[in-house]
Every structure is written in structure tokens, then in C-alpha cells.
Amino acid sequence: MKHEIKNGKLSIAVNETGAELCNIKSAATGKEFMWSGDPAIWGSTSPVLFPAIGAVKNGFVKYKGSEYKIPRHGFVRNNTNVELVGQTEESLSFGLTDDEELLKIYPFPFSFQITYKLKGNKIEVSHKITNRGTDVMLFSLGAHPAFKCPINEQEDYEDYYLEFEHPETASTWLLASDGLVGTDTKQILDQTNILPLTHSLFDNDALIFKNLKSRKVALKSKNTTESVIVTYQDFNYLGIWAKPNGDFVCIEPWLGIADSANANQQLEDKEGILSLQAGGTFEASYTIEITE
């Protein structure tokens, strides 16, 4: 089931399954800014990543002597147990709580809530995670929104570029075929804030950035004034990804990262892992801004 809200600038729709943002439309023109989710290419639009990002080594993590088979990108994605828990004229909130089946693959009682709130021409995406257990809770959190590219039918993919907030000298960490992060890097940005988009940019999977100064990235065209701006002050990793044959680009703020090839699989040692005390609450948000 889709849930929709709108204001004078934008309308959005969110699938209750997985709490996945699936439409962003201009109120003035009706123009769509989200990827269509064509299943022949990539059937998602904006997966919610919790409590893992990317792949875990050998398909499982270790915690207190037991093994837990956390799925790639976690278990909010495509989860039919996600429920609408709150709605106003300009916000939608969705929640998921641990159950017997989830505790078999993730050892921490939790509640997870994500809220989409319209604020003028911006969408604020807020996450609230509560540790309902008695142990310190370990988790990662991320976003995976896919934006239509080109936005306009008369344009080409190569007309678009990503503009970072600051000039960067940054390398991407190369992924192996099993989705694990290797030790090799490739320089992508060399004292510039502009990354031209080409389909071949993603021939070797995602671009993974660990040490960017920027906390804002804009998708822009050389031909129009429209843009999609993602601001992610609360997130310290960034992924950029598309299918090589897909007319979209994902701008992915992460708190955490896929396992490395040499990971020891101990959950407490996982790179970028977050910890939350018993009874505690963690919050993080990012925004999507549409300019026309």
C-alpha cells in the first residue's frame, strides 16, 4: 500500500512495505524526480538500510559466540511487517519492532521508526532507533534513494553531474565480486567538487567514500536549473551507485559500511558500527531538496 502526502511544493508517496520512498513530484509541474523502480533493471526506489549496510562477510556476523545471518542491507528493506504508525497532513511515520523471527538473525530487541516530513521544497527523512534490550545494541543505518537521471526526457545521462559541497580529493574503495570492501582504492575526485555522470562510472559497482568533507551533494544538469540536493550532516560515509544500464543515480548517506574482505565477522569490531545503551534512543536525519 502506498501512502501519499503533499504541500504547495511537492507530493511524495511511500510504500508501506519497507517504508520505501517511491515518488517525489513537483506540485507545479507534476514532474517526477524518483527512479521508477523498473524491475527489469533494479526494482527498488529507496531502500531503508538497517541494521546493516551492504554485505556481511560469509553472510553472517558473530556476537557472543553465536552466528546471525543478517541479510544484505538489513531487514527493513522489503519487510511487510513495517506499519504506518503516524500521519499528519505533511508527514508519514513507519515503524518496525523486533519479533521472534528477527531475533534469530539479529540479537537485539529494538524499535525502529522512520518519518518523512515535507518542509516546503524539502523532504526531511528522520530515523529513531530505540534499544529495548538489556545489552548494548550494535547497528548500522543508511539510506539508498534513487533519483531519476535524466530528469527530463530530452536529455541524456551524460548531461548530468554531481556537485559536492566542497572540493574533494577522494578515492573510492573498490568492492569485490561478493560485495565486500577490498583494500584497493581508485581516485575519483582530485581537488574538484564536480563528478560527471556516465553509465560506465558504475561498471565496478558503487563508489564508496569514507572521508569526504562535504555533507551535501547535488544532482544537476548542464542544461536546466533543476536539481536534487541531498544534505546528510548526521552521516559520515557516502555511497554513489547506479546500475550501468539504469537511468538513475543513488546518493546514499551511511552510518556504517559493508564488511571488508579481511573482517573478523565479530559484530562489535565491524567498521563504522554504532552502539546504543540499553533503553537509549538514537536519532539521525537527512534531507532531500528539490529546486526548479
pLDDT at 107 exceeding the cut of 80 = yes
Across 124-133, average pLDDT:
98
Radius of gyration of the chain (CA): 19
pLDDT of residue 232: 98
Structure confidence at residue 176 (pLDDT)? 84
- CA-based nearest residue to 217, from 230, 227, 232: 230
Query: What is the pLDDT at residue 156?
Result: 97
Residue 285: the pLDDT is 98
Location of C-alpha cell 559520515 = 236
CA distance 168 to 41: 31
Provide mean pLDDT across the span 140-151. Answer: 98
Q: How confident is the model at residue 286 (pLDDT cuts 50, 70, 90)?
A: very high
Specify whether the backbone of 29 is left (phi greater than 0), alpha (psi in -120 to 50) or beta: alpha
Sign of CA dihedral 230, 235, 238, 243: negative
Q: What is the pLDDT of residue 260?
A: 93
pLDDT given for residue 182 in this prediction: 87
Query: pLDDT tens digit string along 179-202?
Result: 899 888 999 999 999 999 999 999
- The structural domains of the chain, ordered by start, are 2-291 (2.70.98.10)
- What's the one-letter identity of residue 67? E
Report pLDDT for 177.
77
State the pLDDT at residue 2: 96
| pLDDT confidence tier of residue 141, bands split at 50, 70 and 90 | very high
pLDDT averaged over every residue in the chain: 96
Cell of 94: 513507519
Q: Using pLDDT thresholds of 50, 70 and 90, give the confidence band for residue 138.
A: very high
pLDDT (tens digit, 9 = 90+) per residue, 58-87?
A: 999 999 999 999 999 999 999 999 999 999
Residue among 79, 123, 130 nearest 101 (CA): 79
The CA-CA-CA angle for residues 236, 158, 246, to 5°, reads 70
pLDDT at 247: 97
Distance CA 18, CA 81 (A): 8
